[in-house]
Amino acid sequence: MAEESRDGLEAARAEKLKRIAALGLDPWGQRFDDHQAIAKVRALEPPPAPEGEPQEPGPTVRIAGRIMLRRGQGRVVFLDVRDWTERIQVFIGKKQVGEQGWALVDELDLGDLIGVDGTLGFTKTGELTVFATALTFLGKSLTPPPEKWHGLTDLEARYRRRYVDLFSNPESLQTFLGRSKIVRAFRRVMEERGFVEVETPTMQSIAGGAAAGMRTVWIRGAGMEQRVADGGSDPERMSADGGAGAGRGGAAPDLIVDRLADLQEIFRIA
């Protein structure tokens, strides 16, 4: 996207934020308690009505998420809203959400955060949908999101703007959630086997990590140079023997703790 075009889009979004404030809404959003994960809402899917019969009203739901898609005609707007669990379609009608709610809809963009109260049901095409009865503004995305079909594809940008990568690339979010499950499982297994988890320092005054290269950091406030951890074995041994210095020459004393687990950030140059 050309720099001039992006600047224009950001300026337009900033103007919309001002108009949202003029509606009497908090432009920086507000709390939206007791909302349900969209995956759980989808699990509440009501049974479809028999052919030729009207659909019974579904359960009342409350969801929150990021606007990923928008389409509309006349006094009806459809939004695709996604949270960290799933996505769902939202039907917004001017009559249902009132004048202020409808004015808010005009100022919404892709990437904005929105809270929706409504009932769960199906459209005429059979799409599971939340039929909105109230909208809550939760936050404006002042920067346009990545292009719809290709997402954030530049590898460097994905690492430096992880927050954008997580909402624009669903596979990155699944990797993120998968890592959390792995760490949780590791901790559970270690605890079941009698390990004690310790937290060793990321900054160390003594070089470790055998023949690995070192990264040094000058800590201005303390006036000292520290080495970024490239191995946790020395602090782990010191934790194990209560600071007696096992592993630094001579016979190791009796261990106070014989099973340690350490989840540590390691910065290693091979």
Q: What is the CATH number of the domain that holds 93?
A: 2.40.50.140
Q: Rounded to whole angstroms, how far apart are CA atoms 270 and 268?
A: 6
Residue 184, token pair as written in the block: 């949780």
Decide if 81 contacts 68 (C-beta within 8 A).
yes
pLDDT of residue 260: 78
Q: Rounded to whole angstroms, how far apart are CA atoms 128 and 91?
A: 10
Please tell me what DSSP assigns to residue 27.
T
Q: Is the same domain home to 22 and 77?
A: yes
pLDDT of residue 1: 53
- Chunk the chain into consecutive blocks of 10 residues (it has 270) and report each block's average pLDDT, rounded to whole numbers: 69 94 91 94 83 79 95 89 94 93 94 95 90 96 74 75 80 88 92 84 61 62 66 56 46 59 66
pLDDT of residue 13: 93
Q: Is the same domain home to 134 and 10?
A: yes
pLDDT of residue 235: 58
Q: Rounded to whole angstroms, how far apart are CA atoms 88 and 70?
A: 12
Q: Rounded to whole angstroms, how far apart are CA atoms 84 and 65?
A: 8
Q: Is the same domain home to 153 and 177?
A: yes
Q: Is the same domain home to 62 and 111?
A: yes
Report yes or no on 49 lying in a domain.
no
DSSP string, 158-186: HHHTHHHHHHH-HHHHHHHHHHHHHHHHH
Q: How many helices (H) and strands (E) does the chain have?
A: 7, 10
Q: Is the same domain home to 108 and 13?
A: yes
Report yes or no on 50 lying in a domain.
no
Number of domains in the chain: 3
Q: Is the same domain home to 178 and 120?
A: no
pLDDT of residue 50: 72
pLDDT of residue 100: 94
pLDDT of residue 149: 52
Report yes or no on 201 lying in a domain.
yes
Q: CA geometry: angle at 77 spanning 71 and 81, to 5°?
A: 70
Q: Is the same domain home to 164 and 202?
A: no
Q: Is the same domain home to 237 and 205?
A: yes
- The whole domain housing 171 covers 148-193
Region of 3 (left: φ > 0; alpha: ψ -120 to 50; beta: rest) is alpha
Q: Is the same domain home to 17 and 88?
A: yes
pLDDT of residue 160: 80
Report yes or no on 7 lying in a domain.
yes
Residue 266, token pair as written in the block: 């390691």
The kind and range of the H/E element at 116 are: strand 113-122
pLDDT of residue 244: 44
Nearest-Å Rg of the Cα atoms of the chain is 27
pLDDT of residue 164: 81
pLDDT of residue 250: 44
Q: Is the same domain home to 32 and 116?
A: yes
Q: Are β-strands 60-73 and 76-82 bridged in parallel, bridged antiparallel, or unpaired?
A: antiparallel
Q: Rounded to whole angstroms, how far apart are CA atoms 5 and 152?
A: 18
Q: Is the same domain home to 125 and 153?
A: no
Nearest to 91 by CA among 105, 111, 103: 105
pLDDT of residue 37: 96
The kind and range of the H/E element at 204 are: strand 203-204
What CA–CA distances, in Å, run from 188 to 41, 168, 239, 255?
29, 31, 21, 23
pLDDT of residue 135: 96
Q: Is the same domain home to 175 and 205?
A: no
pTM: 0.71
Residue 2, token pair as written in the block: 């050309």
